[in-house]
Structure 1
Amino acid sequence: MSDTAVKSTPTRAWGLTSAVLLLLPLLLLGGVIALFLSTGGGLKLTSPAPVEALSVERTILQPGSIELVVRNTSPQDLTIAQVVVNDAVWPATITPSATIPRLGQATVRLDYQWSHGEAYNLTLFTNHAIPFTAEIPVAFNTPQPSVNSFGSFALIGLYVGVVPVYLGLVWYPALRQLGRRWMVFLLAITAGLLVFLGLDTLAEALEQASSVPTPMQGVGLVGVGSVATFFLLDAISRRQAGQGRSESERRLSLAYMIAVGIGLHNLGEGLAIGAAYNLGEIALGAFLVVGFIIQNITEGLGIIAPILRDRPGLRHLALLGLVGGAPAILGTWIGGFAPSPTLGVLFLAIGTGAVFEVVYEIAKLIQKDTSRQPMPLTVFSGLLTGLLLLWVTGLLIK
């Protein structure tokens, strides 16, 4: 060993000079931006026409009235000057103002005696004569929040999420009798189920991202929500692993993480069903309910797979089912009463990140369980079985 002492570099204390040097580039950047905005940067170019964009976020029909909730997604203020209904100019009341600031929201109300089942085409003209259309394929009364409607949507969420997940948990006593290889097989099935759910949720999020207002950057929102959720749950998992918890406690934590991931996915399903009913697609909504009931019974199987060796107790089983299934109720409420493309995409993105992080945790558990006795064919067949299960049941929905 050398007797020469290693000199450590002293840590310099932060002072006023350091703070100024840190902020200087940002201050200079702000000055450059302010100069460009105030002078135009010396450019002598003028736009031949204003760049305007208006998105219709929701259409509300009540007896004798039509309301459009719109958002200004253009780079500057926008003024709605005229509303046309089926080629006829119609007076409209716009609140809070006909001039909508950037990213601002307004409600356009028309006193109009529409007929049930008829189609209507509404065109909103700005003061620069730029048109924006909103179509009503089938006119019907938009569901409004009430005790009965909340109860109806809650019942749909119960059928879609809570009931099938709990039915899947009923397999717990029978599956406890299986041997070690079958336990690994079930874990692999769970991973396959979740991979399919994750891909399905990601595809749905990217599809809905196209309906998000351009400034909200739908695809970017998907990336932020999914990646942030993945690493947040991973950090929580690593912190729990470092607390010296027993194997049974870790498996129970994994079961709860699976339930959370499935719950977030069911939230997205609830949003889809609620939106279908909100748009008057009652037949489609009922079709989705039946399909999701059949598909989601496999989710209960996925939740209990990590804890088949343990005795978690009825309280934990009940809570696991609630965490996995109850978000579907919240989803139907949001989709039915306050549909929002941006919020829907964010929820789907969060669900995607959660599901894939849980797959990662299951993969680590499978690797640990098979470290002494590798079972590559068992893992492969289980993974493929899980994927095929949801693909086949998905035929009832798509």
Structure 2
Amino acid sequence: MNLRLRTIAAVLIPLVLLAAVIVLFVRTNGAGLNVAPAAPIETVQFGRTILRPGEIELHLRNTSPQPITLAQVNINDAIWPYSVTPSPAIPRLGSAVITMAYPWVQGEAYEISLLSSSSIAFATSIPVAAVTTRVSSGTLLSFTLIGLYVGVIPIILGMLWLPVLKQMGAGAMLFLMSATVGLLLFLGIDATAEALELTGRLSDTFQGVGIIGIGIVGTWLLLDAIGRQQRTAERSEAGRRLSLATVIAIGIGLHNFGEGLAIGAAYAIGAAALGTFLVVGFIIQNITEGLGIVVPIAKDSPKLPALAKLGLIGGAPAIVGAWLGGLVHSPPLSILFLSIGAGAVFQVAYEIGRNLVWKRAGAALQERPLFAFGGVLAGMLVLYVTGLAIK
């Protein structure tokens, strides 16, 4: 018992002393330094903008170090009446909804600025005004179909190349496995770039780069642990290859979740043309992902239910992503999910490179090293070209 008390005391004493140091610093006004800012530091993070006929609704969060009070709303430089829920006084990290009865016009652009009681302005814009998609059974069905078109169908179509893979020689398989690595690396780099771009629109309070680090590193470690556990449980070589294919499908599924988010968000803001281009581009791109899933089991004879399961694991997350992207607007969550997708495909690329290219295709790699180089480059170029239809 005494040992337990000493252990608890050893844990608590540094924390108590730390609290005392903080109190001392605050009570002495920063050790006598004038740390008060010359002007109030006020920032907000705009969330979703909802447009209804004759009404604009803004969602925002106070990311300032202190509470703020909204005092005025301007739409296209005109002062406009508004209401705030729950209150114009917004606590730190608190959220508010601003509603304005405004006769907006379909397809027009609007600039909206908010003024705080300290006369500090916060600006946002509506590039193209359109009625916001509402939650309904029809909407969910539409997003489900989009997810099927983007994720499940092209991946299953790509898996239909499995019989062709069985006929390939060692050199062709080395090239194809290397192309899969290149494909995944490109997807990871692209997802990371998109996440970094979103951090530019995120308040410093949410530490967007930190979210990216957590998503990439955490997902890598999680998938690595899952892969090791599955390989340990499976004793047969065929079972281990199927386990690797499952890990690849999980990684691709996490990435497709992010793709679904992007498409759903495009439709939600009324950019139907953008959403259509995204769908077509991802359909073309994701057929190669189905090919990547079946590469580890190319020499086996997996049963149809196992293949269907792999296809659903890799493609179905796009459906959930489309739901969330179309119905929920949260930049921090978008950054996190993009980072999770990036970490997933980076880890899967590493697994394929380590288990298939370097270990199992070692002899072919020694004889044809340029096949690996050409494969990685070809995989990246394929996605670059298909990406031209998306961006």
TM-score normalised to structure 1 length:
0.92
Deviates more, 1:180-189 or 1:109-118: 180-189
Equivalents in 2 of 1:193, 1:307: separation in Å? 18
The answer on 1:18 being equivalent to 2:11 is no
Deviates more, 1:132-141 or 1:216-225: 132-141
The answer on 1:369 being equivalent to 2:360 is yes
Instruction: Give the CA deviation at 1:321.
Output: 0.9
Q: Deviations over 1:184-207 (max 9, x none)?
A: 332222111111111111111111
Alignment of 1:203-222 (within 5 A): 203-222=193-212
SS of residue paired to 1:15: helix
Contact 2:134 2:327 in 1 (8 A): yes
Residue from 135, 141, 151 that aligns with 1:145 = 135
Equivalents in 2 of 1:248, 1:150: separation in Å? 39
SS of residue paired to 2:114: strand
Contact 2:71 2:115 in 1 (8 A): yes
Structure 1, gaps ≥5 residues long: 1-12
SS of residue paired to 1:178: coil
Equivalents in 2 of 1:209, 1:174: separation in Å? 43
Q: Deviations over 1:255-286 (max 9, x none)?
A: 11111111111111111111112222221111
Q: Deviations over 1:341-361 (max 9, x none)?
A: 111100011111111111111
Equivalents in 2 of 1:204, 1:158: separation in Å? 23
Contact 1:100 1:106 in 2 (8 A): yes
Instruction: Give the CA deviation at 1:244.
Output: 5.3
Decide whether aligned partners of structure 1 residues 159 and 242 sit closer, same or farther in structure 2, where only a CA change above 3 A counts: closer
Contact 1:80 1:125 in 2 (8 A): yes
Equivalents in 2 of 1:395, 1:86: separation in Å? 35
The answer on 1:188 being equivalent to 2:181 is no
Residue from 95, 106, 110 that aligns with 2:85 = 95
Equivalents in 1 of 2:50, 2:73: separation in Å? 16
Equivalents in 2 of 1:50, 1:306: separation in Å? 59
Instruction: Give the CA deviation at 1:339.
Output: 2.0
Q: Which residue matches 2:23?
A: 34
Q: Which residue matches 1:391?
A: 384
Instruction: Give the CA deviation at 1:47.
Output: 2.3
SS of residue paired to 1:115: coil
Contact 1:166 1:321 in 2 (8 A): yes
SS of residue paired to 1:75: coil
SS of residue paired to 1:40: coil
Contact 2:29 2:35 in 1 (8 A): no
Instruction: Give the CA deviation at 1:382.
Output: 2.0
Equivalents in 1 of 2:182, 2:245: separation in Å? 15
Instruction: Give the CA deviation at 1:210.
Output: 1.4
Instruction: Give the CA deviation at 1:48.
Output: 2.0
Residue from 47, 54, 76 that aligns with 2:44 = 54
Residue from 12, 34, 58 that aligns with 1:68 = 58
Alignment of 1:285-324 (within 5 A): 285-324=275-314
Q: Which residue matches 1:6?
A: none
Instruction: Give the CA deviation at 1:305.
Output: 0.4
Structure 2, gaps ≥5 residues long: none
Decide whether aligned partners of structure 1 residues 27 and 63 sit closer, same or farther in structure 2, where only a CA change above 3 A counts: same
Contact 1:188 1:382 in 2 (8 A): yes
Instruction: Give the CA deviation at 1:45.
Output: 4.4
Residue from 239, 263, 270 that aligns with 1:273 = 263
Contact 1:116 1:139 in 2 (8 A): yes
Residue from 197, 219, 229 that aligns with 2:187 = 197
Matched residue count: 387
Instruction: Give the CA deviation at 1:372.
Output: 4.8
Equivalents in 1 of 2:372, 2:187: separation in Å? 18
Residue identity opposite 1:169 in structure 2: M
SS of residue paired to 1:280: coil
Contact 2:231 2:243 in 1 (8 A): no
SS of residue paired to 2:108: coil
Decide whether aligned partners of structure 1 residues 217 and 46 sit closer, same or farther in structure 2, where only a CA change above 3 A counts: closer
Contact 1:184 1:369 in 2 (8 A): no
Decide whether aligned partners of structure 1 residues 329 and 307 sit closer, same or farther in structure 2, where only a CA change above 3 A counts: same
Instruction: Give the CA deviation at 1:51.
Output: 0.3
The answer on 1:122 being equivalent to 2:115 is no
Instruction: Give the CA deviation at 1:67.
Output: 0.5
- The CA RMSD over aligned residues, in Å, is 1.8
SS of residue paired to 1:114: coil
Decide whether aligned partners of structure 1 residues 197 and 44 sit closer, same or farther in structure 2, where only a CA change above 3 A counts: closer
The answer on 1:355 being equivalent to 2:339 is no
Q: Deviations over 1:144-167 (max 9, x none)?
A: 111111111222222111111111
Greater Rg by CA: 1
Residue identity opposite 1:24 in structure 2: I
SS of residue paired to 1:346: helix
Instruction: Give the CA deviation at 1:293.
Output: 1.1
TM-score normalised to structure 2 length:
0.94
Residue identity opposite 1:380 in structure 2: F
Aligned-pair identity in percent equals: 55
